């Protein structure tokens, strides 16, 4: 099977984790990935960008496997996270729209992918035939050696035999779905009198050796002002990617991970079910809910008077949740150190604190953080 050949080159390149979202043209490959690699299924492709960033920062060698249409949802995350921070991101892509395509809606975007990647200066490799599969290993190696994204566009022709039919995967075996879902949920939200900077400061003073990811924009400046540490990963962009990065960090190593995320970005991501499914017990998500897009002028979000982030986390499958509305309650909840993943919903008022901008470039943030996380051996073997 050509799928086995492809995975041989993936393994030879040292990949230890595959983050994926299925494509119907690579069903057999997807099954083999599940059998042979640590495998994480995501719900949205852009979440995989942050997840792979976190895994790498924790000392792992991740790869994504997606359908090519998913690149359209990933481009901003790619250009604002692995590109400026210079992080490796190999992506094995099922290239739709170019070979015996059955769906006309797959063609308008996908046929232009090489031109689009060229315009964005994103490196890519094309695998047209089964004889080109050895290019996969070199492309993955390039991503890690040059600290950049590398897209591997694989035509469905590679997986199809003379008759034009791809390998048929075994039928999936599902466990029984029976389960009881029962909980009592009564919460009252009072008018908040404190702001995001107060909540960040309350937790920052309690940090010991935890790794911290802070949401983009003003929250990073506020954390920097109250307690800068090399263990803080400050996001400069990549809307919705704070929790995916934190999840990757938590899955990739054993130290505690704290994510300062916001209501807008949590409402805009599909990562919470993935957090619940992977269930890292060293992850704490602090959902700073001021009901507004704080860094862009405090425009109201749906969390202000409609959506409930704690209930959203519960519905996603995260069972260790709480809601706090003052500094003392937040400190108590954080210090409880109950097994994660933990979701602490912090209700605060809109408004930003005047804090100096973070004086580091993206690569400096990466280097400080990695020096705090990686051993000398890890640096030598993973980031030469």
Q: pLDDT digit string (tens) for 201-248?
A: 999 999 999 999 999 989 999 999 999 999 999 999 999 999 999 999
Domains of the chain plus CATH, in order, are: 2-159 (3.40.50.970), 196-373 (3.40.50.970)
> 């034009």: which residue's tokens?
164
What confidence score (pLDDT) does residue 166 get? 52
pLDDT of 379 above 70: no
- Strand order from edge to edge, sheet including 149-154: 38-41, 17-20, 62-67, 89-94, 149-154, 123-127
- Average the pLDDT over 170-196 and give the result: 92
At 308, phi and psi to the nearest 5?
A: -120, 110
Name the more confident of 137 and 375: 137
| DSSP labels, 170-203 | PPP-PPP------------PPPP--BHHHHHHHH
Which residues face 213 on adjacent strands? Answer: 233, 259
Cis peptide before 112 (omega within 30 of 0): no
Rg (CA), the chain: 21
- pLDDT above 50 for 369: yes
Cis geometry, peptide bond prior to residue 192 (ω within 30 degrees of 0):
no
- Map residue 209 onto helix, strand or coil: coil
Tens digit of each residue's pLDDT (9 = 90 or more) over 99-123:
888 889 999 999 999 999 999 999 9
- Could you give the percent of the chain with pLDDT greater than 90? 86
> In angstroms, rounded to a whole number, what is the distance separating the alpha carbons of residues 239 and 46?
10
User: Angle of helix 196-204 relative to helix 327-335, nearest 10 degrees?
Assistant: 40
Give the pTM: 0.95
Lowest mean pLDDT among 55-59, 98-102, 160-164, 262-266: 160-164
Rounded Cα–Cα distance for residues 152 and 124 (Å)? 6
Distance of CA 143 to the CA centre of its chain: 18
Structure confidence at residue 24 (pLDDT)? 86
Q: What is the pLDDT of residue 88?
A: 98
**What whole-number distance in Å separates Cα of residue 57 and Cα of residue 79?**
17
Stretch among 119-133, 264-278, 339-353, 364-378 having the lowest mean pLDDT: 364-378
- Pair of tokens at residue 216: 């983009």
Pairing of strands 292-293, 211-214: unpaired
pLDDT digits (tens, 9 = 90+) for 25-45: 899 999 999 999 999 999 999
In this predicted model, what pLDDT tens digit does every residue of 60-110 receive, in sequence order? Answer: 999 999 999 999 999 999 999 999 999 999 999 999 999 888 889 999 999
Q: What is the pLDDT of residue 35?
A: 93
CA distance 250 to 210: 10
Sign of the CA dihedral running 309, 312, 318, 323? positive
**Contacts with 297 (C-beta within 8 Å, 6 or more apart), sequence order:** none
Per-residue model confidence (pLDDT) at position 170: 78
Q: What is the 3-state secondary structure (H, E, C) of 307-321?
A: CCHHHHHHHHCCCEE
pLDDT tier, 383 (very low <50, low <70, confident <90, very high otherwise): low
Return the C-alpha torsion angle 158, 159, 163, 169, nearest 10. Answer: 180
- What is the C-alpha separation between 290 and 194, in angstroms, rounded? 10
Average confidence score pLDDT of the chain: 94
Give yes or no for residue 50 having a pLDDT over 80: yes
Q: How far is CA 36 from CA 29, 122, 325, in A?
A: 10, 29, 45
Other C-beta atoms closer than 10 Å to the C-beta of 378 total 15
Phi-psi region of 100 (alpha: psi -120 to 50; beta: other; left: phi over 0): left
Is pLDDT above 80 for 168? no
With 60 as the cut, is the pLDDT of residue 165 above it?
A: no
pLDDT score, position 381: 60
Element (H, E) at 278: helix 272-278
**Tens of pLDDT, residues 300-327:** 999 999 999 999 999 999 999 999 999 9
Nearest alpha-carbon partner for 4 in 170, 152, 159: 159
């Amino acid at each position: 099977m050509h799928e086995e050949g492809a995975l041989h080159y993936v393994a030879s390149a040292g990949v230890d984790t595959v983050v994926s979202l299925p494509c119907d043209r690579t069903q057999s490959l997807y099954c083999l990935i599940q059998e042979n690699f640590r495998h994480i299924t995501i719900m949205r492709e852009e979440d995989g960008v942050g997840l792979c960033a976190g895994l790498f920062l924790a000392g792992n060698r991740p790869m994504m496997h997606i359908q090519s249409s998913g690149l359209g949802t990933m481009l901003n995350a790619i250009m604002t996270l692995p590109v400026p921070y210079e992080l490796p991101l190999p992506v094995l892509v099922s290239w739709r729209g170019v070979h015996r395509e059955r769906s006309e809606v797959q063609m308008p975007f996908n046929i232009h992918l090489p031109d689009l990647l060229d315009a964005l200066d994103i490196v890519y490799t094309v695998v047209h035939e089964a004889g080109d599969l050895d290019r996969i290993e070199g492309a993955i190696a390039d991503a890690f050696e040059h600290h950049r994204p590398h897209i591997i566009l694989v035509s469905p022709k590679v997986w199809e035999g003379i008759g034009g039919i791809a390998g048929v995967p075994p039928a999936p075996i599902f466990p029984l779905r029976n389960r009881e879902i029962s909980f009592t949920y009564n919460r009252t939200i009072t008018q908040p009198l404190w702001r995001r900077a107060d909540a960040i400061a309350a937790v920052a003073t309690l940090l010991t050796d935890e790794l911290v990811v802070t949401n983009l924009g003003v929250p990073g400046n506020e954390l920097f002002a109250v307690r800068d540490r090399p263990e803080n990963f400050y996001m400069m962009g990549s809307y919705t990617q704070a929790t995916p990065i934190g999840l990757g960090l938590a899955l990739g190593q054993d130290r505690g991970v704290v994510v300062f995320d916001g209501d807008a970005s949590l409402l805009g991501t599909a990562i919470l079910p993935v957090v619940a499914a992977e269930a890292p017990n060293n992850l704490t998500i602090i959902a700073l809910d001021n009901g507004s897009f704080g860094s862009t002028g405090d425009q109201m979000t749906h969390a202000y008077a409609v959506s409930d982030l704690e209930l959203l986390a519960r519905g996603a499958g995260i069972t260790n949740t709480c809601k706090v509305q003052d500094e003392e309650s937040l400190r108590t909840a954080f210090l409880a150190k109950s097994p994660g993943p933990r979701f602490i919903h912090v209700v605060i008022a809109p408004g930003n604190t005047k804090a100096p901008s973070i004086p580091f470039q993206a690569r400096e943030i990466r280097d400080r953080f990695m020096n705090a996380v990686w051993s000398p051996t890890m640096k030598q073997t993973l980031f030469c």
